[in-house]
Structure 1
Amino acid sequence: MIFILTFKNVKWGTKNYFKVRKLYLGAFPKNERFPFVGLLAMALQKRVNLQAVYDHDNFIGLIFWTYAEKIIYIGYLAVDPVWRGKGYGSQILNSMKQRYSEKEIVLDIEPVIKTAKNYSQRLNRLSFYKRNGFRLTKSNLVDEGGHYSILSSDGSFKKSNLSKLLERMSFNCYKFKIVSR
């Protein structure tokens, strides 16, 4: 299968807005979501992106990400249920890695805990990111929504780089800590 992905910025009231909003609300639990209007506001900044992902004319998914000199943080990545399991998530990550090969890509996921109700989903998510070259760091992100394992595309993860990036992204409004696992 040949993928030709395009990333289109999401603006209020556009076709992309409605598709991305619907997927966002369906893909992430309420306790893990920023208000959608907050994502739109943050994406008004030069280095923050809320984007719809298309393959030709097909809406594939969404990505919310920000970057600085040495690091990219992917806050949200979701593939529309119609297109899941077809390699699109991997292709989105590969596209980011190719475009920004000089930067470390960081993201966070629910930790894999055997007693969690969605244990198998968490395990599958971790396996997906590992297959795509991400490795667990020795740090967790803690916020109002819970604890999250931080993954990195290379071995250079620095808490301070991520902290600065998250503070700038959120206008210093996002309350979080990065702690050792």
Structure 2
Amino acid sequence: MIFILTFKNVKWGTKNYFKVKKLYLSAFPKRERFPISGLLAMGLQKRVNFQAVYDQENFIGLIFWTYAKQIIYIGYLAVNPIWRGKGYGSEILNLMKRNHPGQEIVLDIEPVIKTAKNYSQRINRLLFYKHNGFKLTQDNLVDEGGRYSILSSDKHFKKRSLSQLLDHMSFNCYKYKIVKR
């Protein structure tokens, strides 16, 4: 399959905004979501991107990400349910890697806990990221929404770089800790 992906910035009230908002609200549990107004505000900064992903005219998904010299943090990545399982999530990650060679890409996911109601979904998500070259680090991100496993595309996770990036992204308002698993 040939992908022709484009990333379009999300602005309040646009067609992109309504598509992204609908997917965002359905793809992430309330406790894991920043207010969408917060994502829009953070996306106005340099180096912070809140974007709709398209393959030609088809709305594929959303990505919220930020970057610094050596690191990229993907806060949210979701593929529209009608396009899931067709390789789009992998292609988005591959495009990020191709466009930012040499940069560590970091993200966090719900930890794989056997007693979780969505255990199989958590396993599948971890396997998806591992298939795409990500490795579990020895650290978790803990915030008011819960505890999340940190994954990295690099062998040597740079905890300090991630902390600086999260602080910049959130105007120093995001309350979190990075702790050992």
- Deviation at 1:14? 0.6
TM (norm. structure 2) is 0.99
- Deviation at 1:101? 1.0
Report 1:29-44 matches (<5 A).
29-44=29-44
Report 1:21-170 matches (<5 A).
21-170=21-170
CA-based RMSD of the aligned residues comes to: 0.4
Unaligned runs of 5+ in 2: none
Q: Distance in 1 between matches of 2:51 and 2:122?
A: 24
2:6 pairs with 1:6: yes
Q: Distance in 2 between matches of 1:46 and 1:12?
A: 17
Which SS does the other structure have where 2:130 is aligned? helix
Which SS does the other structure have where 2:177 is aligned? strand
- Deviation at 1:156? 2.1
- Look up the equivalent residue of 1:57 and give its one-letter code: E
- Deviation at 1:154? 1.1
Q: Distance in 2 between matches of 1:151 and 1:101?
A: 17
- Look up the equivalent residue of 2:99 and give its one-letter code: R
Which SS does the other structure have where 1:101 is aligned? coil
Which SS does the other structure have where 2:72 is aligned? strand
TM (norm. structure 1) is 0.99
- Deviation at 1:27? 0.2
Which SS does the other structure have where 1:166 is aligned? helix
Which SS does the other structure have where 1:65 is aligned? strand
List structure 1 runs of 4+ shifted beyond 4 angstroms.
none
Which SS does the other structure have where 2:157 is aligned? coil
Q: CA-to-partner distance for each residue in 1:122-167, whole Å, 9 max, x for gaps?
A: 0000000000000000000000000000000011212111001001
- Look up the equivalent residue of 1:169 and give its one-letter code: M
- Work out the percentage of aligned pairs sharing the same amino acid: 80
- Deviation at 1:102? 1.7
